[in-house]
Structure 1
Amino acid sequence: MTKQTKFRTIVLLLMILMAALSRLLPHPDNVTPVGAMALFGGAYFSRKYLAFLVPLVAMWLSDLVLNNVIYARLYPDYYDGFTWMGNLWVYASFILIGLIGMRFLQKVNITRVVGASLGASVLFFLVTNFGAWMVDPMYPKTTTGLLAAFGAGIPFFRNTMLGDLVYCGVLFAGFEWAKSQWRVLQLQRAI
């Protein structure tokens, strides 16, 4: 790995980590960088394991703080003991969103980023609400129960889209601007 690719990789890693840390700041429900982090990693890391590993680890670390510090204090009846993992359905959607980034953002432009961001929001909605239906005993395991789970997620969908669009704008525009300022970042894809 050359100095140039190391520097670029570090910049990408720090951008994703900063996005994950922004989850710790007060924000409206579901206005988070979750989808954007996965798309960004998928778009810019050419080593596939980094495209998944960096955003997943950043997400997991922010989940550790959220679940064990912030949410544990806000909802003491719900959080009993140390929580090592977040919602597995969220992580599954995160991996699938990374694949969208790899596939559709090989060439980054505003149209592709907006389209991938909207697609990520829809995918997140479908996977996580399907997961809620699968594991939550309040939803009967029928078509009606599945529709009820999707219906319960509708109020959060707008904010998920907003979060994905805003954070995609910040991450992708920020990195593209940085590339225009520092030639060292102008590789086609990071390693």
Structure 2
Amino acid sequence: MKIDNLRIATLSSIILAAALSRLVPHPFNFTPIGAIALFGGAHFSRKYLAFLVPLSAMLISDLIIGFHDSMWAVYLAFILTVGIGMGVLQKITVGRVFGSALLSSVLFFLITNFAVWYGASGFYPQTLAGLGACYVAALQFYQQDVFGNLFLNTVMGDLFFSAVLFGTYELVKRKVPAFSMAG
């Protein structure tokens, strides 16, 4: 097997394993979604694979978990996060991964709660005040969760899983130095 194909298979396996981890019990929104998108965007040199592999892994896990009315917002945030990985993480450093994970958390929060406001719930008036009320409610909605709230769960999940995915691949590259040179 050519080294590039082995590298692609390894990256894909890491992403699929992370996506399937969504099937085990976890705190609400403490998931690898943002990390998968960042990781794919950062590591696949073929841009279509940067989108295709993470989106396919996400779709596989969602087929098992199920879908809801605002899935379009989840996938939009996911696609934009792949773009963040492609742009910001061209040079991978701990600081850039940390910052990108935080940015993807904020992006996910803003987009998915915009979807709730826009029509998935019907609870909020279609005004700026209604949008603001939706965001405030989202911050307070999960106060009894492990990390305090939905937003913080998303941040902690993105940071944790980004460390796991990027760290795992760095360990793999130490065992297979040719991966560092493969495009």
1:63 aligns with: 62
RCO comparison, higher one (Cα < 8 Å, 6+): 1
Give how far 1:64 is off: 0.8
More divergent stretch after superposition (16-25 vs 150-159): 150-159
Is 1:49 aligned to residue 33 of structure 2?
Answer: no
**Percent identity between the two aligned chains:** 49
1:106 aligns with: 90
TM-score normalised to structure 1 length:
0.86
Q: 1:159 aligns with which of 129, 144, 153?
A: 153
Runs of 4+ with >4 A deviation: 83-86
2:99 aligns with: 115
Q: Secondary structure at the match of 2:126?
A: coil
Change over 3 Å in CA distance of 1:187–1:86 after alignment to 2: farther
Give how far 1:152 is off: 2.3
Q: Secondary structure at the match of 1:30?
A: coil
Q: How does 1:89-100 map to 2 (within 5 A)?
A: 89-100=73-84
2:9 aligns with: 10
1:72 aligns with: none
Give how far 1:187 is off: 2.5
Change over 3 Å in CA distance of 1:133–1:86 after alignment to 2: closer
Is 1:146 aligned to residue 131 of structure 2?
Answer: yes
Is 1:128 aligned to residue 122 of structure 2?
Answer: no
More divergent stretch after superposition (31-40 vs 150-159): 150-159
Mark the runs of 5 or more structure 1 residues left unpaired by the alignment: 68-82
Post-superposition Cα deviations, 1:31-88, rounded to whole Å, max 9, x if no partner, equal: 0000000000000001111101111111111011011xxxxxxxxxxxxxxx599711
Cα distance in structure 1, aligned partners of 2:65 and 2:151: 21
Give how far 1:177 is off: 1.2
Mark the runs of 5 or more structure 2 residues left unpaired by the alignment: 140-148
Q: Secondary structure at the match of 1:133?
A: helix
Q: Secondary structure at the match of 2:92?
A: coil
Change over 3 Å in CA distance of 1:85–1:138 after alignment to 2: closer
Contact 2:138-2:150 within 8 A present in 1 as well: yes
More divergent stretch after superposition (52-61 vs 177-186): 177-186
Contact 1:43-1:105 within 8 A present in 2 as well: yes
Cα distance in structure 2, aligned partners of 1:141 and 1:57: 33
User: What count of residue pairs does the alignment treat as equivalent?
Assistant: 173
TM-score normalised to structure 2 length:
0.90
